[in-house]
Structure 1
Amino acid sequence: MTLKDTLKDFCYQQFFPRAGLILVKLISRTYSYRLVDTHNEQGALDRYGSVVYASWHQRFFPGITFFATRKPIAIMISQSRDGEMVARIVDILGWQAVRGSSSKGGMRALKKIRQLTGKGYRIGHIVDGPQGPFGVVKPGLITIAQFAGAPIVPVIVSPQRYWMFSSWDRFMVPKPFSKVFIRFAPPIVVPRRLDEKSFETIRQDVQALIKELVRETDNWWRSPDKILHYFS
């Protein structure tokens, strides 16, 4: 291995994850979270013992530290070099990184997720990541729920003030000291066996529900009564 390769490995495995984690933690500690409809989350946990949290890639920044409080929790991450850096970050936060994707190591990762949910782990999943298209729930979410034997609980993360980047997902980072809603949607149970039409119907239903609740929750910031109710 050359010196250049050694430096690259050090940066991806040590420096970038730790530097990124420090930044994420510093900013996230300034947020004021309000949890909404937590009965949906708790009801699913009481009945099934686990859940699959589903969220847009655009809005996962405040969730990466918040959901680390929902331990034990796991997330599927690709086996790419970028995935290695993300895996290091979530490992440090206390997530269980399960390496695999639809293109590589997917079946092994799904079997691992099934083992983890059997032990009471919750699963986090970015439904349109890692490269989009934006706002499209990929089939992987439904497949994960089938293997996990756990219902999907869409999670709506809505910050009051944020920076938006010109990336494929218009990535959002809440500004320091921003208020943030985290809203839990009703659980969606996915049967273990589905024909192609039923599979696609559930995928579209989840996608439509997330989009509807994102619009609704974002509109709360335009309602002084809503803000006063949750943040008084």
Structure 2
Amino acid sequence: MAKRLIRHPAVQGMLARLVALYLRFVWATTRWTLVGEEHAHPFRDAPMILAFWHERLPLATLGWRLLSRRVPQAGGRRAQVLISRHRDGRLIANAVRPFGIDVVHASSSKGGASGLRGLLRILAGGGVAVITPDGPRGPVRVAAPGIAQLAAMAGVPVLPCAVASSRMRLARSWDRMRFPLPFARGIAVVGAPIAVARDGAEAALPAIAAALNEACAQADAMAGA
């Protein structure tokens, strides 16, 4: 009974609004620092690929708001994140929309290929794509080929990113997802861009994963997480 109730569209909509309100409260009560802002400046009016590990997805929402406010012209664009068409994906889409993030839905029948094509169109138009390379099911911190393929096909480097808070709760999920708490110190890290050659997608994956791990370690250390 409880599961059916949670799946109801009206309940899903209410939950999404509550999540958005909570994230706004966290945003307003957190002292934010952006590290590596200079790495994003060359892309302020050009296509961008931002990568976060799936465990940082709630924090990434706030990280994008910080980046879009600190980097001139980035704030004029909405980020596009690839999400499944599962009901949880719809809830996430409604929750993050107020933070300047829209959703590209991956087809349940065609897998990630349809989502990849959608992100390619967005990048071709000068947009911002957000990827969680180990999502939605893992393994944790293992980058799937899609992000490197996207970067190679679009000719757009990957910016490895991480966000951490001095006050977080870890979920009992496969990736121990981090949920920020209010009244904290927040650190967002943007790493150096990683260019991916047209025929070098597979070879670029270890560098992307290593850069994401480094960004997470730096953000956690600075936040005291």
- 3-state SS of the aligned residue for 2:38? helix
TM superposition shift of 1:170: 1.4
| Structure 2 residue aligned with 1:215 | 217
Cα distance in 1 for partners of 2:174, 2:151 equals 26
- Please report the RMSD computed on the Cα atoms of aligned residues, expressed in angstroms: 2.5
Query: What is the total number of aligned residue pairs between the two structures?
Result: 212
The structure-2 alpha-carbon separation of the partners of 1:6 and 1:40, relative to structure 1 and needing over 3 Å to count, comes to closer
- 3-state SS of the aligned residue for 2:129? strand
Cα distance in 1 for partners of 2:107, 2:32 equals 31
Q: Deviations over 1:44-82 (max 9, x none)?
A: 446xx1111001122222321341444321111111121
- 3-state SS of the aligned residue for 1:60? helix
Answering whether residue 8 of structure 2 is matched by residue 8 of structure 1, we say yes
* Contact residue 187 and residue 222 of structure 2 kept, 8 A: no
* Contact residue 102 and residue 140 of structure 1 kept, 8 A: no
The structure-2 alpha-carbon separation of the partners of 1:88 and 1:132, relative to structure 1 and needing over 3 Å to count, comes to same
| Structure 1 residue aligned with 2:27 | 28
| TM-score (normalised: structure 2) | 0.82
| Structure 1 residue aligned with 2:163 | 157
| Structure 2 residue aligned with 1:85 | 91
The structure-2 alpha-carbon separation of the partners of 1:220 and 1:91, relative to structure 1 and needing over 3 Å to count, comes to closer
The structure-2 alpha-carbon separation of the partners of 1:185 and 1:176, relative to structure 1 and needing over 3 Å to count, comes to same
- Give 1:37's aligned amino acid: G
* Contact residue 142 and residue 190 of structure 1 kept, 8 A: yes
Superposition map of 1:133-212 within 5 A: 133-191=139-197, 193-194=198-199, 198-212=200-214
- Give 1:59's aligned amino acid: R
Contiguous gaps of at least 5 residues in structure 2: 69-74
| Structure 2 residue aligned with 1:64 | 61
- Give 1:9's aligned amino acid: P
Answering whether residue 74 of structure 2 is matched by residue 55 of structure 1, we say no
Q: Deviations over 1:68-105 (max 9, x none)?
A: 44432111111112112112223343322111168635
Cα distance in 2 for partners of 1:217, 1:65 equals 14
* Contact residue 17 and residue 86 of structure 1 kept, 8 A: yes
- 3-state SS of the aligned residue for 1:128? coil
| TM-score (normalised: structure 1) | 0.80
Contiguous gaps of at least 5 residues in structure 1: 223-232
Cα distance in 1 for partners of 2:125, 2:181 equals 36
Identity %: 26
Structure having the higher Rg: 1
The structure-2 alpha-carbon separation of the partners of 1:45 and 1:189, relative to structure 1 and needing over 3 Å to count, comes to farther
* Contact residue 166 and residue 186 of structure 2 kept, 8 A: yes
Q: Deviations over 1:12-38 (max 9, x none)?
A: 3x2221122112222222111101111
Cα distance in 2 for partners of 1:7, 1:127 equals 27
